[in-house]
A and B are shown apart, each in its own frame.
Chain A
Amino acid sequence: MHTIEVTFNSALKDPFVGNKRKEILGLGLPVQSVKEIFLYTIDKEFTKKELTSLAKELFSDPLIQEFSVDKSMLNKFHWDWLIYVNNLPGVKDNVGDRSQEAIEDILSVEFNKGEAVYTSKYYLINGDLTRKDVDKIAKEAFAYESVESWHILDRETYSEKGFTPEIPKVLIKHQPQISEFNLNTSGELLKLSKQKNLALNLQEMKKIKEYFSKIDVIKARRKMGFNEKPTDSELEVLAQTWSEHCKHKIFNAYVTYTDGVKTEHVNSLFKTYIRSSTEKLQKKLKWIVSTLWDNSGVIQFNDKYLFAFKCETHNSPSSKYPYGGALTGIVGVYRDPMGTGKGVKLIYGTYGFCTSEPNYNGPIKPEIHPKRLLEGVRKGVQDGGNKHGVPTPYGIVFFDNGYLGKPAIYVLAAGIIPRTINGESGAEKQPNPGDLIVMCGGKVGIDGIHGATESSMEGGAHITLGHVQMGDPYTQKKMHDFLNEARDKCLYTCIQDCGAGGLSSSVGEMGYNFGRKGGAKGFKLYLDRVPLKYKGLDPWQILVSESQERMIVSILPEKLKEFMKLAQKHEVESTVLGELNSSGKFHTIYNDKPVTFLDMHFVHEGVPQLELEAKWITPQTRGLREPQIPKIKNHTKFLKEMLSRPNIAGKEYIVRQFDHEVQATSVIKHLVGEKSDVYSDGVVIRPDFESNKAIAIAAGINPKYSQIDTYHMTANAFDEAIRRVIALGGDIKKIVLNDNFCWPSPLPGKDNPDAKYKMAQLVRANRALFDYTIAYGTPCISGKDSMSMDATIPDLNGKKHRISSLPTAMFSSAGIIDDYKKCVTMDVKKPGDLVFVLGETYDECGGSEYYEMFKEIGLNVPVVRAKKTVKLYRALSKAIKKGLVASAHGCYKGGLGIALAQTSFAGGYGLDIDLNSIPREKINDEDRILYSESASRFIVTVSKKHEKLFREIMKGIEFGLVGKVTNNRTFTAKGLQGKVIIKENIDILKKAWKEPFGKM
């Protein structure tokens, strides 16, 4: 074993050290300096000469770094405290893996099994600190408990005893075995489920017991070498497949809903509201190609390509290890469209970070402070997207302290597939009996065991950390390029993501769901052929491990050779694991021993339907009222305060750290305006250089309205996602959505007294989804739910609190743009242009930023008036297509006041606005006109020469000419009495908007 240490020499300041120091100061601890030393520990024998050459040629930069070989540098530097941070065993070490590859190249050697390179770090700290302080630094700034270990030494102890780092080598001293379970012990079923962390309820365990006691099942299994008892693997397969994560049991439950007056029954929210809406619309909209069966929905993009997208959440892992959770999330969601149809080329990703406020300073003490959490998930998506070569052009950030328990971390992926490949539709896949099952990508380890079952559980100490992982975008990018080429050469018949549930789910689905018309139904899989990271895994672990960066393909035997050759060129490990057949069985084998033999039908359809009660309590009954709020005295000051609110203020630092322009497809960016620093309503990318068609990308979310009514919360989020696309120049006839529900658990239990109410909130949200998708004609083609947004965490005094997030529905939208050259942005363009407000303003401040400023919720939640809205959206699309609109900006959080200010300071010109001319209904109060959050409104500027045509197109729409763009930098608004109530320099307004996150 050898260690090479590398550190920056005195030529340059190490920028990370500066950042680390800032972080420590942020913890309120006095630190003078920090130095970082990087350790590469090579678990293989080399000569001193070889090692020195490696240190020089590979591990260090001669201009800015120094190194030492097999002799620590620690004595060379002055320090008071040392923190040594190392990975926990089994956590993926990407730098270590790549170092090994490079050493093999340089020295022309091969690493044997068990030999590897490990990386770790020393932090050398100077400062008047106690051991307790240093421990806090390690825990809260340098290391994550869930994936790293640390060791603290003071200088004196080091001088006396020295320090030898240990490598986190995984050594499982265990002979792999297959265990059996006796289900015939009455009353022990639930205990078994808990013991094995299966997350199966009693009803489900009983169903399993019943299956295994069926005569024909016993007979068939005996023939294959089993006895009547199920194996551990069989229970695990069922637990994974039947998990909430995979089977969406809550969305498929039989629900009895009452609002106190009448009672209704809903047999599956998914089928009743989501599936039926999508199916209805698909019949009407011929450009929708494929929905509801594959990994994501597919629509036509242009005459050459199809488009697919999917948004996922990665909440549980991100709450434990924000960086790794979000990284694994984005890299993982990429595999959804990669496994859709014949497999996409990825064209963009987006993000959504719902956390509690970064400055949270309340009594509840989450394991990871929201500020660190937000930075961690941001960095995770950054590395996942940037290193995968996929632009991350858009996203949202939303703060609410309900996310203290669990954050909602969204990741979306989109891609294009050729419409036809060798005469077949790019959206089709056809696994045949006799096809070989091939696993591509990473090796399998114990990391990520039980991801599907654990993400379906509530957060808290009982969660083991098997599901916290480290994604590797590099490995997956190679696989992506490889599979795109294999697809175009028609080398595989079916492709499927290997994600939650591991091989159990991916091969399980390939051998069941995709085999249409004579396709495969059943498979035989040899678990001993699965390439492992280390020895000692039990067959059940191999079967359900969620080790990342893997895809499963099925291949005609005669294509295998060519497939493997291409895999070799791209350096993508690919292994034949078995074959598909038509047996109808989930059959796995390990070293000739039978492991599972289950009916595919039982695995996929056997899960019993949940029955849930839902009880709606009206907002009035819950005590919500319209509050008495003092009149705004100083409107200019108030506007600036509103602009600085965390959920309104700009977060440019987040946008800039994502590569949002790779692939050269970016045509409207998220930051626009005179200085390219104000949020646009959404973004536009043009994925095919040969076509003017493009995709407008946005999202809508506002869980605050859930406090009043989740029906309207959902309607507003939905409308916002569409409104943003319309503002860019989209067309309501060509917009599709992805729905994401992040909900506090509606499952009854003694610690969940209002489960029925939460279920009723979910019912109402789904009704809104149905009503508005149908009314707008914009279908949800993909979607996902996460039904355990709860956690139990301690406060300062150690008292435990159950924290549930607000019910959160997010809609991600994608609108097909016919000609990207016609798109518009939100910034005003030139003095003299007329300012119009489209859509009416109502007294709808319930759940608004304005009320929240006064710590009120209110009652009058914004109502989306579908009929009027659709008419307005059509008219605005038409006006933009005709080139009549200079700028268009939707009104979102903070209402008109915020939107007017933004459009003005983005464009670098002042506005003269008269509030009297704002179209409105039953609202005669300046405060409310400015800050009501009524849906479906825009601010549009139009050059005088286009006024007449514009007005013609807007006939029948509620709109008003409210002012004009001025040739100065002053934003002015006249109140209802004709008096100027806001007057401020736009640079000062912009500063108020930018400042809260300006130094991040």
Chain B
Amino acid sequence: MRKVKVLVLYGHGINCDNETSKAFELAGAYAEKVHTNELIENSNKLDTYDILAFPGGFSFGDDIAAGKIHAVKFKYRLRENLSRFIADKKLIIGICNGFQIMVKLGILPGIDNDYWTEKVTLTFNDSGKFEDRWVYLKIGKSPCTFTKDIQGLYLPVRHGEGKFYTNQGILNKLKKNNLVAIRYVGANNEKNPGYPFNPNGSLDDIAGICDPSGRIFGIMPHPEAYIYKENHPRHTREKLPEEGMGLKIFRNAVKYVKDNL
């Protein structure tokens, strides 16, 4: 069977590259860490992969705004390569800082066939604080490849700029096209749970979105932070499956490539 090849970006202050690679490996893929500068230097390199992952971290120190400078780099140095990758119907996932890069680049939500204009943003949490806490998530009805057959997740958020925001028009479009892949909910699936369940004040409790194809996905919480049972904060007192819940996201991606590409 073919080996699914994942490009996990690193360098420039990205810092979840190791565990993101590990998550893809556990899901059966071959993951390779590649520096953004290697992609710029070798313009065909990206073409050889099936999945592109923008991991979490603090690219460029979160300076000016989280994800902004890295987005600028992609826009001005790698636009063609990335366009080709999208046109080839390959998969892209952005986690936390990766999600911030993707929305500032515009490849999310990618509505109206426009992948290069910022239409939604992720900005400072309402609390004004960086927070590391676990949140309950509900998967919405969406074309998202990564969240297929998942109902809910429990994962940590670790960010200071995770508040999802956009204007009413865009929000309506997101909802109409079922692009809100994932929302913050209460411990018992309650809607509009408020802080700290919605940890950052995100509009409409949005924690992750996908593009209309479902192949491009961004999520604020960290699925790669819960790949082993013992990553769970209460594993010493609750009955939990051996496999971390976050792994499903990566399994879905690998399966999609095997079935479709």
Residues of A within 8 A of B237 (CB): 673-674, 825, 827, 829, 907
Judging by beta carbons under 8 Å apart, are A660 and B132 in contact?
Answer: yes
CA separation between A14 and B68, bound complex, in Å? 18
Partner of B62, one of A105, A387, A664: A387
Judging by beta carbons under 8 Å apart, are B165 and A64 in contact?
Answer: yes
Pick from B16-24, B44-52, B80-88 the stretch touching chain A.
B16-24
Pick from B117-125, B139-147, B177-185 the stretch touching chain A.
B117-125
Judging by beta carbons under 8 Å apart, are A671 and B233 in contact?
Answer: yes
Q: Tell me if B58 counts as interface (CB < 8 A to partner A).
A: yes
Residues of A within 8 A of B77 (CB): 105
Known contacts A15-B126, A106-B76; is A825 also within 8 Å of B236 by CB?
Answer: yes
Q: Tell me if A77 counts as interface (CB < 8 A to partner B).
A: no
Pick from B6-14, B107-115, B205-213, B252-260 the stretch touching chain A.
B6-14
Count how many chain B residues have C-beta atoms less than 8 Å from C-beta atoms of the other chain: 64
Q: Tell me if B245 counts as interface (CB < 8 A to partner A).
A: no
Q: Tell me if A903 counts as interface (CB < 8 A to partner B).
A: no
Residues of B within 8 A of A653 (CB): 129
Residues of B within 8 A of A673 (CB): 234, 237
B 52-69 to A, binary, CB cutoff 8 A, 1 in contact else 0 = 000011101111110011
Partner of A386, one of B35, B64, B130: B130
A 590-625 to B, binary, CB cutoff 8 A, 1 in contact else 0 = 000000000000000000000000000000000000
B70 to chain A, nearest CB (A): 9
Known contacts A58-B64, A64-B165, A478-B13; is A821 also within 8 Å of B121 by CB?
Answer: no
B 222-255 to A, binary, CB cutoff 8 A, 1 in contact else 0 = 1011111011011111000000000000000000
A 376-402 to B, binary, CB cutoff 8 A, 1 in contact else 0 = 000000100011110000000000000
A489 to chain B, nearest CB (A): 15
Residues of A within 8 A of B204 (CB): none
Partner of B124, one of A16, A59, A668: A16
Known contacts A64-B121, A105-B77, A660-B132; is A98 also within 8 Å of B69 by CB?
Answer: yes
Residues of A within 8 A of B158 (CB): 386, 659, 661-662
Q: Tell me if A629 counts as interface (CB < 8 A to partner B).
A: no
Judging by beta carbons under 8 Å apart, are B12 and A569 in contact?
Answer: no
Residues of A within 8 A of B165 (CB): 11-12, 63-64
A 46-72 to B, binary, CB cutoff 8 A, 1 in contact else 0 = 000000000001110111100000000
Judging by beta carbons under 8 Å apart, are A676 and B73 in contact?
Answer: no
Residues of B within 8 A of A823 (CB): 236
Partner of A666, one of B37, B38, B129, B231: B231
Judging by beta carbons under 8 Å apart, are B234 and A58 in contact?
Answer: no
Q: Tell me if B188 counts as interface (CB < 8 A to partner A).
A: no
CA separation between A171 and B167, bound complex, in Å? 46
Partner of A64, one of B19, B72, B123, B128: B123
Q: Tell me if A689 counts as interface (CB < 8 A to partner B).
A: yes
B 191-224 to A, binary, CB cutoff 8 A, 1 in contact else 0 = 0000000000000000000000000000000101
Judging by beta carbons under 8 Å apart, are A569 and B225 in contact?
Answer: no
A 498-517 to B, binary, CB cutoff 8 A, 1 in contact else 0 = 00000000000000000000
Residues of A within 8 A of B14 (CB): 389
Judging by beta carbons under 8 Å apart, are A57 and B231 in contact?
Answer: no
Q: Tell me if A463 counts as interface (CB < 8 A to partner B).
A: no
Known contacts A12-B165, A656-B131, A664-B225; is A474 also within 8 Å of B61 by CB?
Answer: yes
Judging by beta carbons under 8 Å apart, are A664 and B22 in contact?
Answer: yes
Residues of A within 8 A of B64 (CB): 58-59, 95, 98-99, 102
CA separation between A669 and B232, bound complex, in Å? 9
Judging by beta carbons under 8 Å apart, are A659 and B130 in contact?
Answer: yes
Known contacts A387-B13, A387-B62, A474-B63; is A61 also within 8 Å of B121 by CB?
Answer: yes
A252 to chain B, nearest CB (A): 40
CA separation between A134 and B2, bound complex, in Å? 67
Residues of A within 8 A of B18 (CB): 663-664
Judging by beta carbons under 8 Å apart, are A388 and B15 in contact?
Answer: yes
Judging by beta carbons under 8 Å apart, are B60 and A101 in contact?
Answer: yes
Q: Tell me if A711 counts as interface (CB < 8 A to partner B).
A: no
Q: Tell me if B30 counts as interface (CB < 8 A to partner A).
A: no
CA separation between A669 and B156, bound complex, in Å? 12
B132 to chain A, nearest CB (A): 5
Q: What is the chain B residue whose CB lies nearest that of A19?
A: B128
Count how many chain A residues have C-beta atoms less than 8 Å from C-beta atoms of the other chain: 67
Judging by beta carbons under 8 Å apart, are A101 and B128 in contact?
Answer: no
Q: Tell me if A18 counts as interface (CB < 8 A to partner B).
A: yes
Q: What is the chain A residue whose CB lies nearest that of B200?
A: A15
Judging by beta carbons under 8 Å apart, are B134 and A667 in contact?
Answer: no
CA separation between A57 and B71, bound complex, in Å? 10
Partner of B16, one of A106, A387, A662: A662
Judging by beta carbons under 8 Å apart, are B134 and A676 in contact?
Answer: yes
Judging by beta carbons under 8 Å apart, are A18 and B128 in contact?
Answer: yes
CA separation between A676 and B196, bound complex, in Å? 13
Judging by beta carbons under 8 Å apart, are A569 and B65 in contact?
Answer: no
Q: Tell me if B3 counts as interface (CB < 8 A to partner A).
A: no
Judging by beta carbons under 8 Å apart, are A15 and B10 in contact?
Answer: no
Residues of A within 8 A of B127 (CB): 15
Interface residues of A in 433-489 (CB under 8 A from B): 472-474, 477-478, 481
Q: What is the chain B residue whose CB lies nearest that of A821?
A: B230
Judging by beta carbons under 8 Å apart, are B130 and A657 in contact?
Answer: yes
Residues of A within 8 A of B16 (CB): 389, 662-664
Judging by beta carbons under 8 Å apart, are B11 and A62 in contact?
Answer: no
Q: What is the chain A residue whose CB lies nearest that of B14?
A: A389
Interface residues of B in 135-188 (CB under 8 A from A): 156, 158, 165-167
B157 to chain A, nearest CB (A): 10
Residues of A within 8 A of B65 (CB): 61
Known contacts A658-B132, A662-B15; is A389 also within 8 Å of B58 by CB?
Answer: yes
CA separation between A15 and B60, bound complex, in Å? 22
Residues of B within 8 A of A668 (CB): 236
Judging by beta carbons under 8 Å apart, are B123 and A570 in contact?
Answer: no
Judging by beta carbons under 8 Å apart, are A106 and B13 in contact?
Answer: no
CA separation between A689 and B158, bound complex, in Å? 21
Judging by beta carbons under 8 Å apart, are A102 and B72 in contact?
Answer: yes
Partner of A669, one of B76, B104, B131, B233: B233
Q: What is the chain B residue whose CB lies nearest that of A18?
A: B128
CA separation between A686 and B231, bound complex, in Å? 10
Judging by beta carbons under 8 Å apart, are A58 and B10 in contact?
Answer: no
Judging by beta carbons under 8 Å apart, are B236 and A105 in contact?
Answer: no
CA separation between A658 and B129, bound complex, in Å? 10
Known contacts A478-B12, A662-B15; is A672 also within 8 Å of B121 by CB?
Answer: no
Residues of A within 8 A of B119 (CB): 63
Residues of B within 8 A of A61 (CB): 65, 68, 104, 118, 121, 123
A485 to chain B, nearest CB (A): 10
Q: Tell me if A820 counts as interface (CB < 8 A to partner B).
A: yes
Known contacts A387-B13, A388-B15; is A661 also within 8 Å of B63 by CB?
Answer: no
Q: Tell me if A742 counts as interface (CB < 8 A to partner B).
A: no
A909 to chain B, nearest CB (A): 11
Judging by beta carbons under 8 Å apart, are B35 and A569 in contact?
Answer: yes
Partner of A474, one of B19, B60, B233: B60
CA separation between A105 and B104, bound complex, in Å? 16
Known contacts A58-B68, A656-B131; is A15 also within 8 Å of B61 by CB?
Answer: no
Judging by beta carbons under 8 Å apart, are A62 and B118 in contact?
Answer: yes
Judging by beta carbons under 8 Å apart, are A95 and B132 in contact?
Answer: no
CA separation between A16 and B22, bound complex, in Å? 36
Q: What is the chain A residue whose CB lies nearest that of B244?
A: A664
Q: What is the chain B residue whose CB lies nearest that of A476?
A: B13
Judging by beta carbons under 8 Å apart, are A656 and B133 in contact?
Answer: yes
Residues of A within 8 A of B167 (CB): 11, 63
Residues of A within 8 A of B132 (CB): 655-661
- What are 18 A-B pairs at a CB distance below 8 A? A11-B165, A14-B124, A15-B126, A16-B124, A19-B128, A57-B72, A102-B73, A105-B76, A474-B13, A477-B13, A569-B38, A571-B11, A657-B132, A661-B132, A662-B158, A667-B235, A672-B236, A673-B234
| Nearest 4 pairs of A and B residues by beta carbon | A389-B15, A474-B61, A664-B19, A15-B128
**6 new A-B contacts at CB < 8 Å, known A664-B22, A666-B231:** A389-B16, A481-B11, A571-B12, A662-B16, A664-B18, A673-B237
